[in-house]
Amino acid sequence: MSGSSLTNHHGFISAGHDEYWSMAMYNAVAQARDSGVNLAFMGADDVSWQVRYGPSASGAPDRVLICYKSASLDPVQNNTTTVHFRDPQVNMPEQLLVGGTSAGEQLGASSATPVAYVVQNASSWVYANTGAFNGESVPNIVGYEIQAYNSSYPSPSAAAGTYQLLSSSPIVNNNNQTVFQNATIYQAASGAWVFSGASIEWGWTLFNFAFPTGGQAHADYSSPFVQIMTANILNKFSAGTSPLPAAPTNLIAVPSASAVNLSWTDNDPTASYELDRSIDPGFATFGAVGLAAGTTSYTDGGLSAGVYYYRLVAVGANGNSPYVSVSAATISYAALVAARPGLLAHWRLGETSGAAASDTTGSYNGTFVNAPTLGSPGAITNDPNTSVTFNGSNQRVSVPSVPTATDFSIEGWTYLTNAAVNNNTVYGGSGTARLMPRPGTGSFLSAAYAGVTLNGTEYALQPTSPSSNINTWVYWVLTRQGSLLTLYRNGVQIAQRSDLPGTATANINGYIAAQNNGAYYLAGSLQDVALYTHALSSTEVRNGYAAALNGIAPTPPVLPPAAPTNFSAVPSVSSVTVSWTDSDTTSSYILYRSSDPSFGTSVTITLPPGTSRYSDTGLGQGVVYYRLLAMNSGGRSPYVSASAATTSYAALVNGRTGLLGHWRLGETSGTTAWDTSGTYNVLRQRSHAGIGRGPRQ
């Protein structure tokens, strides 16, 4: 089977329970869609399990359907391993083709009564002539297996604004949990429409198929509502498709502190463009700018510090191309973390020497234990911060105890290197909270073990990883908000549970790269571990990932200025002029003056940047002492000192308390040595020894 065998048709219809597909089938139908063939999946559980075909006992090719439903049992280990198409070994989620993901079986299975179909996006052309309105419930349509949109997997590549969830129908599954069925519609870049009814019962609604079977009667579920929808779809398919404009490619966003410069490749010279910007990764609200055909760049200026999401679409006569998207941050990753509410501690782990693991808040500095390797390559784009590599056996970071919390978040970046080590602790402890990524490949397909102990019970998440966590940087976030425990991988939620005791306080003490009981050591590199007494929202998590991938460089730390030089003090009768060399024109100065050489008390004089001279006037008679230092946002320089006297030496001595006598001995003639107080003048006597002569013999 190949896509070319379908290209002379307007549409392809999959009906009923179409669960088992081969890789060739998947590729052929995708190729047909991309060539303009419309697709309709009028059933559910579509394109779920991959199968292979083998020869019969007599050797006839492609006569035996093979499906192990297990990667460990299947002897073929490549992208045709017979597991779910969405499993990591294949990594071709059915949602990319069908529009939704197989979402399980209704409680009661095929014997259960179908539940109501609940309308969304009632303005869609699919609902033409039905009178549908949002929230309308149409009975007996949804069951017994369904499809649903799953945010853990990518959405299909769709023309701008065409991917829609047409229903959101609650249904109780065989685990006695309420889930939601989602019929979907989207238009591919080729112009082809792809519809999914997302219910196995879809076909039963087209006619009265009531019949007795096995002593049980199958009820009449025929629905004029679904019949009109189906007619709309088939009529649209019969009209064929018109090509949409080619989507732009190579969309790049280069951020600065206040602007983002965007550029792209124009692949359709006749199409104009619409560029949307939002602070919401889901574009719930956004601003838009129209750009002329041929435009290949745009500067978005006047921005404040933050994370911005952009999507670009080519606009043509037959419709719009699929969106292309990019994000950029006019803030560094480190600054983003520092600005988040509830930040308790942030260990960047960027040290290149020593044993101290600094917490940027200054409150919970840690210690490297058993000499892990410092200065390894880091994860954050445009950030010189490095990481620390741990050996997986005895190296860790011990940190002080932190307060308990009700809501909390733990985050960190890992580069795991050993697929044989299952639990790699980012941060955590036994009986507290812990975040432990796993390889996500080989024998350990789980993404992580992430949990918290509350009232003696541990609540954990252990989802299957969407891809391998080995030899790649991965951003992990675990949040607890009341009864919700949520795990994110690279900005995307991959697991959640909602059964936690909502008001229970959590102990969030632990170690970094190992548990506090000396177990589950991390094998690989780790950086930017942070704790919060706040549950990061999905947007905050997505922003963290976006800022790490395309943010600005962190502002270098401001160093304290050098001390001023050539400091001198020149006195006069009642003032002192101090001067110095201003070697840093951006620093201000603080001048201290005191009559006490130890500066027990002093006068403070603040001087602006660029000052190199100051006249200190209105001084009394005496000796004054000065200290001068330079100051900026990084701190203060050492001080330099000088002193000066606003009086003569003689006046200073004569003014001292308890002066008894002061002989200056400055006479140039006569025989009297005068006491300045006049009390103890003395007669000078000639020495018997002559000047320059030795003692007499």
Whole-angstrom distance, CA of residue 23 vs CA of residue 26: 5
Q: Give the pLDDT of residue 451.
A: 97
Give 128-176 pLDDT, tens digit per residue: 999 999 999 999 999 999 999 999 999 999 988 899 999 999 999 999 8
CA dist list (Å): 91 to 188, 277, 339, 468: 20, 30, 36, 11
Per-residue pLDDT band at 317 (split at 50, 70, 90): confident
Q: What are the residue ranges of helices labelled H in 510-558?
A: 538-550
| Pairing of the two strands 211-213 and 216-218 | antiparallel
CA dist list (Å): 376 to 328, 419, 423: 25, 20, 21
In the block, which residue shows the tokens 């203060």? 636
Cβ-based burial of 540 (10 A; exposed 0-12, middle 13-18, buried ≥19): buried
Q: Give the pLDDT of residue 573.
A: 81
Whole-angstrom distance, CA of residue 343 vs CA of residue 534: 8
Q: Which residues of 593-618 are buried (b: 16+ CB within 10 A; e: fewer)?
A: bbeeeeeeebeeeebeeebeebebee
Per-residue pLDDT band at 16 (split at 50, 70, 90): confident
- Which contacts (CB < 8 Å, 24+ apart) does range 59-62 have? none
For residues 681 and 673, the answer to whether their CB atoms sit within 8 Å is yes
Q: Give the pLDDT of residue 690.
A: 47
Q: What is the DSSP string of 636-657?
A: EPPPEEEEEESS-HHHHHHTST
Q: How many CB atoms lie within 10 A of CB 355?
A: 12
Dihedral sign from CA coordinates of 416, 93, 251, 121: negative
Per-residue pLDDT band at 667 (split at 50, 70, 90): confident
Average pLDDT for 109-124? 92
Structural domains of the chain ordered from first start:
3-48+84-238 (3.40.50), 249-331 (2.60.40.10), 336-550 (2.60.120.200), 565-647 (2.60.40.10)
Helix (H, G, I), strand (E, B) or coil at 209: coil
Give 413-461 pLDDT, tens digit per residue: 999 999 999 999 999 999 999 999 999 998 898 999 999 999 999 999 9
For residues 257 and 515, the answer to whether their CB atoms sit within 8 Å is no
Give 62-88 pLDDT, tens digit per residue: 999 999 999 999 999 999 999 999 999
Q: Which residues pair with 119 in a beta bridge?
A: 167
Whole-angstrom distance, CA of residue 95 vs CA of residue 426: 32
Q: For the chain, what percent of residues have pLDDT higher than 70?
A: 96
Q: Which residues pair with 487 in a beta bridge?
A: 478, 495
Helix (H, G, I), strand (E, B) or coil at 160: coil
